[in-house]
Amino acid sequence: MARSRLRRTARVLPLILALLGSLTRTALADTPLSAPPAYPQATYPQTAYPTTSYPQAASPQAGYPANPYPQAAYYPQTNMTAAPLANAPSSPYFPQSGIQQVSHMQQDDDAPPDGLAGGAGNLAAMQNQIASLQARQKAADEKLPLIRLSGFFQWDTGLFSQTPNNIATLGDIQNGSGFRRARLQGLGYVTEFTRYSVEMDFGDAGAGRPSFQDVWGEQANLPFVGAVRLGQYRQPITMDSWTNIRHLEFLERSAPFQAFDPFRRVGAMAWQNSDNEMSLIAASVYGTGATFWNGTSTTYNTLGVDNRFATQIGDQGGISFATRASHLLYYDPLAENRYLLHVGGGYNFSEIGGNGTTGPGARTYEARAIPEFFVGDPAAGGATAGGTPFVVDTGRFLANSYNFYHAELAGNWGSAHFQGEYMITGVNQMGGPVVVYQGAYLQAGYFLTGESCGYNKQMGALDYNVKPFADFFGVKTGMCGWGAWELAGRWSYLDLSATNINPANQTGLGSAGPPVSPNPGVLNESTVALNWWWNLYTRVQFNWIHGMLDNNANGKSLFDVFAVRFQTEF
């Protein structure tokens, strides 16, 4: 038996030696004698795949995605790390925040593909690469739905100074301190292109329960319309309304916004960005709501405030249409939003909702504004005794509908920036001529420490939040910094002095006050602001508001507000 095994080995051994010799001759023939051995590492130098090709939002400007559907958010990887939501700018998906992730897929792109050394190619290796990517994609999909919790609070303190005539007109406005807003938000992805937001406010709620803010679901990546959102959301009307509430340059939005913009309402919206993200167009159909009167004050208003309970009530009308378009006339893609010029405009038609011409739910119109600062009880109906009052008020009068137009202009130039809008409304009152109201604001700022404000292409709006070059007392790095400092100013103009209202249309006269409603007049306000960012998520804001009121009944008077806000978010 041993001899048999030796004979079989003797027959096979020559064949093995012949095969090895053939392979050796082929390898020697393909390799020049003078050439050094080839090393795959030299063929793929690491500098050819710089890691800086995948920035991870080192600044708020860098946090803006290259397109409306950021891959890292849709395909969360197993090593996903969530940065605080304020690290990314607000977007039409998440108006109050953003999501940033780091993925294996991005990390692996920094190295050359396996099995392709020397550029020779290898079909089996390519198939392995494809299978690996598919496996990672499947693993990412299994991570959905994606849930993220966010929140912020704003604590305000204000001191008032009034002339005697202003006290006679508005009453003695009380100083105060309190939480202006305290919100929690859950947001994320149900599937790759289905998103959601559930945000509630606990600081400005009133009526003994939290109020609805951005509560909606959205389907993206649709043909022709881009994305469709259903629920309660900020209507696509003014640039001021689409500026992130966490990142306002001043303590409140402008007086014209308060008077004319319907703001959050329940409806359906479609919006779309151009491929180069230089243009935005959005259109919405929503419920107007109705103005309710409890016999002494207006308890629910159709303009300038949130629809706190995400509800529309009324047997008649109450359907509105709004559209907004914006375009970047100039944008420097290499400067991270530091140099740009924005232009835009919008139109809104609203059929006023309600129940007939009498009673608490009659079809009425009312526009009014606070002095760009508020402290007190939001459910007090604007009375001075309950907090900051409405300084101008058209009163409540019967109307069928209104048309609202606005134009906007904004820009960044290094550390300087500006933003302005003009607004005009024509109200179709019952049995009378059209009543015209108008307003405008212009604001500008400059970062004393060299930073610049951001720009959200998806929202078509400036984003007044920055990451300081050096955080305030950044002892973790072994250095102390002073954060970011900005000096800003704003002028607001609001004309609610129209007198061509049919007396038969005026309702709700004799309300408790002061101030009484109606309280028509012209308001001019100047605001000087000093904003101090401790870091990307914490800031302190100082506002000095100087109000110049020209009341139809009492004439001219002055008031001043000295206010400070502390805000933090996560």
User: What percent of the chain lies above the pLDDT cut of 90?
Assistant: 52
In terms of domains, do 137 and 191 share one? no
Please indicate, yes or no, if residue 455 is contained in any of the structural domains.
yes
- The pLDDT assigned to 224 comes to 87
Mean pLDDT of the chain: 79
Same domain, 55 and 162: no
Q: Predicted confidence band at 283 (pLDDT cuts at 50, 70, 90)?
A: very high
Say yes or no: 96 and 194 in one domain. Answer: no
Provide the CB-side half-sphere exposure for 438 (13 A, CA): 6
> How far, CA to CA in Å, does 508 sit from each of 139, 402, 429, 514?
61, 20, 16, 14
Listed ranges 107-116, 369-378, 443-452; the one with the highest mean pLDDT: 443-452
Higher pLDDT, 62 or 290: 290
> 222 in a domain, yes or no?
yes
Furthest-apart CA atoms within the chain: distance in Å: 127
Within 13 Å, how many C-alpha atoms sit on residue 105's CB side?
20
Query: Do 88 and 467 touch, CB atoms closer than 8 A?
Result: no
CATH number at residue 540: 2.40.160.10
Highest mean pLDDT among 98-107, 141-150, 277-286: 277-286
Residue 22 lies in a domain: no
pLDDT tens per residue, range 242-260: 998 999 999 999 999 999 9
What's the whole-number mean pLDDT along residues 38-50?
41
Question: What is the pLDDT confidence band of residue 123, given thresholds at 50, 70 and 90?
Answer: confident
Least confident residue range of 154-163, 210-219, 297-306, 328-337: 297-306
Structure-derived torsion over alpha carbons of residues 120, 126, 132, 136, reported in degrees to the nearest 10: 100
Q: What is residue 301's three-state secondary structure?
A: coil
In this prediction, residue 410 carries a pLDDT of 98
State residue 322 phi and psi, 5-degree precision.
-140, 145
73 lies in the same domain as 172: no
276 or 361, greater pLDDT: 276
User: Residue 509: which pLDDT band, with cuts at 50, 70 and 90?
Assistant: low
Q: Say how far apart CA 120 and CA 471 lie, in whole Å.
A: 50
Domain identity same for 70 and 171: no
pLDDT at 117: 42
**Per-residue pLDDT reduced to its tens digit, 452-506:** 999 999 899 999 999 999 888 866 666 678 999 999 999 999 999 999 999 999 8
> Which amino acid is present at 526?
S
Residues 76, 189 within the same domain: no
Of the residues 141, 175, 207, the one at which a domain ends: 141
Gap between the Cα atoms of 175 and 208, Å rounded: 23
pLDDT, average across residues 521-530: 98
Tell me, yes or no, whether 267 lies in a domain.
yes
Residue range 265-271: average pLDDT?
A: 93
Report d(CA 155, CA 78) in Å as an integer: 38
In the predicted structure, residue 548 carries a pLDDT above the cut 60: yes
Q: Which domain holds residue 128?
A: 47-116+123-141
- The whole-number pLDDT of residue 411 equals 97
pTM to 2 decimal places: 0.74
* 30 belongs to a structural domain: no
Residues 284 and 380 in one domain: yes
DSSP structural state of residue 433: P
Lowest mean pLDDT among 32-36, 330-334, 402-406, 514-518: 32-36
CA-CA distances (angstroms) from residue 351 to 141, 245, 304, 438?
A: 44, 27, 16, 19
Distance CA 455, CA 339 (A): 10
Residues 6+ apart with CB under 8 A from 178: 155, 156, 203, 375, 376
Which of 323, 536, 327 has the alpha carbon at shortest distance from 411? 327
Residues 336 and 277 in one domain: yes
**452: nearest Cα among 336, 291, 316:** 336
Total number of domains constituting the chain = 2
Q: Which of 106, 141, 176 is the last residue of a domain?
A: 141
Whether residues 135 and 269 fall in one domain = no
List Cβ neighbours of 67 (8 Å cut-off, separation of 6 or more). 273, 277
- The region of weakest confidence among 26-40, 181-195, 211-225, 263-277 is 26-40
Average pLDDT of 546-564?
Answer: 97
> Cα 209–236–257 angle (5° rounding)?
70
Structural contact between residues 152 and 569, judged by C-beta atoms closer than 8 angstroms: yes
Residues in the chain: 570
Between residues 147 and 541, the one the model is more confident about: 541
Helix (H) or strand (E) holding 24: helix 2-30
Together in a domain, 112 and 218: no
Running DSSP on this structure, what letter comes out for residue 337?
T
Distance from C-alpha of 256 to C-alpha of 400, rounded to nearest angstrom: 21
What is the rounded CA–CA span in Å between residue 328 and residue 343? 6
Say if residue 258 is in the same domain as residue 134. no
For residues 429 and 129, give the distance between their C-alpha atoms in angstroms, rounded to a whole number. 68
Shared domain for 175 and 228, answered yes or no, is yes
pLDDT digit string, tens, across residues 214-240: 999 999 999 989 999 999 999 999 999
What is the C-alpha separation between 99 and 503, in angstroms, rounded? 53
- Within a domain: 58: yes
pLDDT tens readout for residues 59-107: 343 333 344 433 333 333 333 333 333 333 344 434 433 333 333 333 3
